[in-house]
Amino acid sequence: MSYFAAALACLLAGEALMAAGFGFPAAALSSPESLVVVHLIAIGWLSLLMLGALFQFVPVLIAKPIYSNTLPLPTLVLLVAGLLALLGGFLQLGGRIPAPHSCLTAAAALLGTGFALALWNLGRSLWRARPLPLAARFVTIGLLCAAATVALGIIFALVLDGTTGATSLGDMAAYGIPVHATAGLAGWLTFTAIGVSYRLLAMFMLAPEAETARSRAVLNFGTAALALAILGGAGAISLGRDPGAILLAASLIGSFALVRYGRDVLHLYQARKRRKIELNARMAAVALVCLGGVLLLSIVLAAAGRFEAQIGAVVFLAVFGWLTGLGLAKLYKIVAFLTWLECYGPVLGKTATPRVQDLVVESRAAKWFWLYFTAVWSATSCLLLEAPVGFRLSAALMLAGTVGVAMHIVRIRLMLDVKPEMRLPQLTQRLALLSS
C-alpha cells in the first residue's frame, strides 16, 4: 500500500503543477520544468504504481512466492529519494534552486540502485518459475525495457551534470531521447500493463485465460518492435546515424501488436462469465479506448505531416488516458481485493464476511472516473488546438477527478462503506492505511 500511496501523491502533484501552468505546454517539452512533470508522472506515479502491483501480483502470475519480501521497502525508499534528487537536478538546470553541487549524479545512483533491487527481486521470482505463462512473459520483456530506460536515463544524467565528457555518451544524450521515451512508455509501462491486464481482466471478470495464437502474436510482434526500437535505435546513434527510420519501422510493427491486443481484450469482455461488468472493468475499457485513440491520432497526424509538432498531445493521451486511466481503474479494484483478502481472508468459513464488492460504492465513484476521463479528452483537445488556458482548466478538472477517485480508494482501505455490523467481525482487526 505504501507504493500506491506514494504513487497517488506523485500523480496529484503532477496534475497540480500542470493546472498551475508549470511545464508543458507553457514551456517547451524539453525544458527543465517539463522534465520535472514528466518524471514526476513517469517515475513517481506510473513506475511506483507498476512496481507496487507487480510485487503483489507476480506471485499470482507464476503461482510462486516473491523472491524477497524485505526488498520492496528499501527499494521504495531509494526510488523516492532518487526521484526527489532528479527533480532537484532539473530545477537546478532551470535556475530555480541554487546549484553548488548537481543533484543529477545522486539521482542516477539512487534511482539506478532502486530499480536494480526491483528488477533483481522480480527477475529472480520469474526465473524460478520457468517456463513462464503468457502474462509473465510480457512482464519479463517489460522489465528488460525498464533496465534499458534506466541505463539511458543514467547516461543522460551524467552527461547533463558534466560527470562524463565521452563523445559517444554525449551523442546518446543528444539524440537518444526518443529511444529512452520508447523504452519507458511503450516498453516498461505499456508492455507490462498489457501483460498484467491479460491476467487481471480475466481474473476479475471470470473470463477464460487461454494462451492463443493471437495473444502469442501480441507478445512476439510487440517484443520485435521494442527490440528494434531500443537496440536498433541505440545502435544507430552509436554509429552516428539518425534513428528515425528505425523508430518508424518499430512503430508500425508495434501498431499491429496493439490491434491484435485490442481484439484479444474484446474477446475477454465477450467471453466473461460475470455478466455485470464492475466499475473497474468498465473504466479499464475506457482506458483501452484511449489507447485506440492514441493509435488513431498518431495515424491522422502522421498523414497530415503534423506528428512531430503534436507529439505532446499524443504522449499526453497515452500517459493520462491509457496508462493512468487503466492504473486508476485497476488500483480501485486491487485495493478492494487486497483489503478484503487481508482482513477477511483469515476468517473465511469461520464467520460471516462481506463480499469484495461490499467494500465499494460504485455509483458514487463512477462520477469521479468520468470527470477524470472527460478532462483528459478536453486537455488533449486543448493541446491539439494550442489553447493553454483551456489545458490548465482541464488539468484542474483532472486533478479534481483524481482526488475523488483517491478518496474512494482511502474509504475502501478503511472499509468505511462496509455495513457497520459486518465491518469487523470476530477475529478481525482494522487494517493500517499505508501498509499491508
Tell me which residue of 321, 352, 327, 343 sits closest to 412, measured CA to CA: 343
Contact 337, 356 (CB under 8 A): yes
In a domain, 186, yes or no: no
Residue 313: its pLDDT value, please?
Answer: 97
- Would residue 429 count as lying in a domain? yes
Mean pLDDT value of segment 156-179: 88
Task: Provide mean pLDDT across the span 147-155.
Answer: 97
Residue 403 clears pLDDT 90, i.e. is over it: yes
Please state which of the ranges 163-172, 246-255, 369-378 shows the lowest mean pLDDT.
Answer: 163-172
pLDDT, one tens digit per residue, over 225-265 is 999 999 999 999 999 999 999 999 999 999 999 999 999 99
Q: What is the DSSP string of 332-395?
A: HHHHHHHHHHHHHGGGBTTB----GGGG--HHHHHHHHHHHHHHHHHHHHHHHHT-HHHHHHHH
- Tell me, yes or no, whether 293 lies in a domain: no
Model pTM?
0.95
**61 domain-assigned:** yes
| Alpha-carbon span 162 to 180, nearest angstrom | 20
pLDDT band, very low/low/confident/very high, at 427 (cuts 50, 70, 90): low
What span, in angstroms and rounded, lies between the C-alpha atoms of 280 and 283? 5
Residue range 414-419: average pLDDT?
89
**Of 46-55, 66-75, 90-99, 427-436, the least confident:** 427-436
3-class secondary-structure state, position 78: helix
> What do you get for the CA distance between the two ends of the chain, in Å?
6
Residue 210: pLDDT band (50, 70, 90) is low
For the chain, how many structural domains are there in total?
Answer: 2
Residue 225 falls inside a structural domain: no
Tell which of 130, 147, 167 closes a domain. 130
- The answer on pLDDT for 106 being more than 90 is yes
The Cα 289–Cα 282 span in angstroms is 11
Is residue 190 included in any domain, yes or no?
no
In a domain, 142, yes or no: no
pLDDT in tens, 21-54: 999 999 999 999 999 999 999 999 999 999 999 9
**pLDDT attached to residue 426:** 67
Would residue 389 count as lying in a domain?
yes
Range of the domain at 320: 312-435
Which of 80, 106, 130 corresponds to the end of one domain? 130
pLDDT grade for 274, boundaries at 50, 70 and 90 = confident
Mean pLDDT for the stretch of residues 267-285: 90
Mean pLDDT of the chain: 93
Of 66-80, 156-170, 202-216, highest mean pLDDT: 66-80
Domain end among 77, 111, 130: 130
